[in-house]
Amino acid sequence: MQTTVLAPPTRHPLVAGRRPLVALTLVAASIAAHAQQFSFGGENRFQPGFLVISRSTYDNLSSNVQVGSILPPNCANTTGGCSASTGAPSDGTYPYVWNNDGYDGSFGITSRIFLDQITPGGGFVSTLEVPNSLQRGFARDQMVTSFSSKSELGLHLSTDGKYLTFMGYVAPVNTLDVSNSNTPGVIDPTNPVGQNIYRAVARVDRDGHFRFTETNAYSGNNGRSAILNNSNGHDIFYTAGNAGNGANPQPDGVILGAGAQFIDASKQHEAQQNPGTPTPLGSFSITELGAKADKIGKDDNFRGMTVFNNVLFFTKGSGGNGVNTVYFLDTTGKACPSGVGVPSATATLPTTPLAYNPATLQSSGLPSNMCVLAGFPATPNKSATTLSYPFGLWFADANTLYVADEGDGYTGGTDLYAHAAAQTGAGLQKWVYNAAAKKWTLAYTLQAGLDLGTQYTVPGYPTGSNTATGLPWAPSTDGLRNLTGRVEDDGSVTIWAITSTVSGNGDVGADPNRLVAIRDVLKNTTAAGAAREKFVVLRGAGFAEVLRGVSFTPGTDVDHRF
């Protein structure tokens, strides 16, 4: 099979006085002009220095849901029970299918995953379909995502940069309510979704070869991202997610399978795997901050994660429990005696799961070995007057941290667009470290060009208002989720990020969203200095399509990307 040779990516430093919008536009035009499309059919399928976007498409079959069907699946066989006797109001036609979310709070449909390789300027290069049940010959090992589950498919490179990792489900395409199902080894009878589905971690190498590792973690909810530690002879995954979709108290397996997980990588095919009890990696409790305990396990509702200087960082940006903030896992046990601190310079990545006492799991939960990163919010959500919604995070260096804030997701009334536009924390936050005070400080939040609260059109998408919600179908950007970045030779930083949305859709996680990029001056610490910086849209999701994660390609030198 013939392979098309790609020209190396071209670098375009930010010229002094040039507006970032112009610079990024020139980058996109120049790189796209040099890159030719090629199929995954030859050597070195992923090209070092390019980007990968995780994308999902919905099959848009009306037969996926029968009007009047009782959901969640098999709910009559659970103590959680069924939503109502009226049945599903909409069939499987996109986007009206997502109005079923108003009837079934666990509603979702599994869909195919695609990994799109693009140039840093957004030019399409190639696409790789993750093995699934719709492929010819029926894939032996397979994975899907839940189409409208907006927090899934975060992408990360392994610690040696050779693999790309992400999470999903071991289920056929077009299966209902998988994202809130139990896992086979951790069954909560109070979960109204009466089916059992393994979660799994996928790893893919530079040549497009996949391996999957199943897990019983995240029963009742979803795994969101994974990082493979394959350095120094290790072969373990660190993962982030949430668990539980039933009543309180939760079963032991749900408590153990929430938040940050430690998963040994498997070399077997999925049919040969037999995952055991979930093995937690870390946990946080607001009791560390002197507050009254929340529902056990719900402080660990983690969304984003990253590794920097041998330390694991996590974010929590949703839920009524815990603290919406940035955390780190303290392997030294000394960095934060009061629940807030900064990592030790001698910290190492964990190589064993978190030890716990089974006898006290229901009364006290897991022991706490995580801390709020000093300077970030440390007030529990239940008592905080304002909340942040952090998602992805990326360190440009030891003193500069970029955090994506997805916005509050408000869809409560006709003011949803005005509300989105008025947010001050949504977008890309730049935090700088104050060594003297030993804490991080918010320098500014980049929003220009995101057009928060501004409606945009998608070809084929309905116009007007959704009769189920009474609000317009048109999506608008509400903030940012997953992101990655690169430090340029000229002292600027390029950030690529995936947008979050609000609209009148029955489930805004199913809105077609966008990939955006921006240039920031690394050393700048004032909003005035960043006044001319502006996001540009590199790509928009199409009809029945969503974008989820962004990363550099496997094989990219993560420390010296160009």
Which is it for the CA torsion 273, 275, 281, 285, positive or negative?
positive
How distant is the alpha carbon of residue 228 from its chain centre?
16
Judged against a pLDDT cut of 60, whether residue 362 lies above it is answered with yes
Judged against a pLDDT cut of 70, whether residue 11 lies above it is answered with no
> Tell me: the pLDDT tens digits for 236-245?
999 999 999 9
* Percent of the chain whose pLDDT exceeds 70: 91
Q: Are 120 and 51 in contact (CB under 8 A)?
A: yes
What local confidence, expressed as pLDDT, does residue 139 receive? 66
- CA nearest neighbour of 53 among 497, 508, 504: 497
What local confidence, expressed as pLDDT, does residue 84 receive? 78
**If you search the block for the tokens 């086979």, which residue do you land on?**
184
What local confidence, expressed as pLDDT, does residue 297 receive? 87
What local confidence, expressed as pLDDT, does residue 7 receive? 31
- Per the model's pLDDT, the better-predicted residue between 364 and 44 turns out to be 364
Count of Cβ atoms closer than 10 Å to residue 385 Cβ = 5
Judged against a pLDDT cut of 80, whether residue 294 lies above it is answered with yes
> Tell me: the pLDDT tens digits for 183-236?
999 999 999 999 999 999 999 999 999 999 999 999 999 999 999 999 999 999
What local confidence, expressed as pLDDT, does residue 267 receive? 96
pTM comes to 0.93
> Tell me: the pLDDT tens digits for 64-95?
999 999 999 999 999 999 987 789 999 999 99
How sure is the predictor about 28, in pLDDT bands with cuts at 50, 70 and 90?
very low
- Give, in order, the Cα–Cα distances in Å from 371 to each of 288, 298, 444: 8, 15, 23
- Per the model's pLDDT, the better-predicted residue between 22 and 346 turns out to be 346
**DSSP 8-state secondary structure symbol assigned to residue 180:** G
Judged against a pLDDT cut of 90, whether residue 351 lies above it is answered with yes
What six digits make up the tokens of 287? 């009791």
Judged against a pLDDT cut of 50, whether residue 332 lies above it is answered with yes
How sure is the predictor about 38, in pLDDT bands with cuts at 50, 70 and 90?
very low
Taking all residues of the chain, what is their mean pLDDT, rounded to a whole number? 91
What local confidence, expressed as pLDDT, does residue 106 receive? 96
How sure is the predictor about 12, in pLDDT bands with cuts at 50, 70 and 90?
very low
What local confidence, expressed as pLDDT, does residue 137 receive? 67
Report the alpha-carbon distance of residue 141 to residue 200 in Å, rounded: 11
Q: Are 140 and 210 in contact (CB under 8 A)?
A: no
Count of Cβ atoms closer than 10 Å to residue 130 Cβ = 24
> Tell me: the pLDDT tens digits for 120-176?
999 999 999 999 999 876 668 999 999 999 999 999 999 999 999 999 999 999 999
**DSSP 8-state secondary structure symbol assigned to residue 363:** H
Q: Of 438-442, 524-528, 553-557, which range is least confident?
A: 553-557
What six digits make up the tokens of 239? 């993962």
Mean pLDDT of 4-22: 33
Phi then psi for 405, rounded to 5 degrees?
-110, 120
Judged against a pLDDT cut of 90, whether residue 30 lies above it is answered with no
Report the alpha-carbon distance of residue 204 to residue 170 in Å, rounded: 16
Q: Are 503 and 531 in contact (CB under 8 A)?
A: no
What local confidence, expressed as pLDDT, does residue 313 receive? 98
Q: What is the DSSP string of 393-424?
A: EEEEETTEEEEEE------SSTTHHHHHHT-S
3-class SS of residue 29: helix
What local confidence, expressed as pLDDT, does residue 557 receive? 83
Q: Are 310 and 316 in contact (CB under 8 A)?
A: no
Report the alpha-carbon distance of residue 193 to residue 200 in Å, rounded: 19
Q: Half-sphere exposure of residue 292, counting CA atoms within 13 Å on the CB side?
A: 2
How sure is the predictor about 14, in pLDDT bands with cuts at 50, 70 and 90?
very low
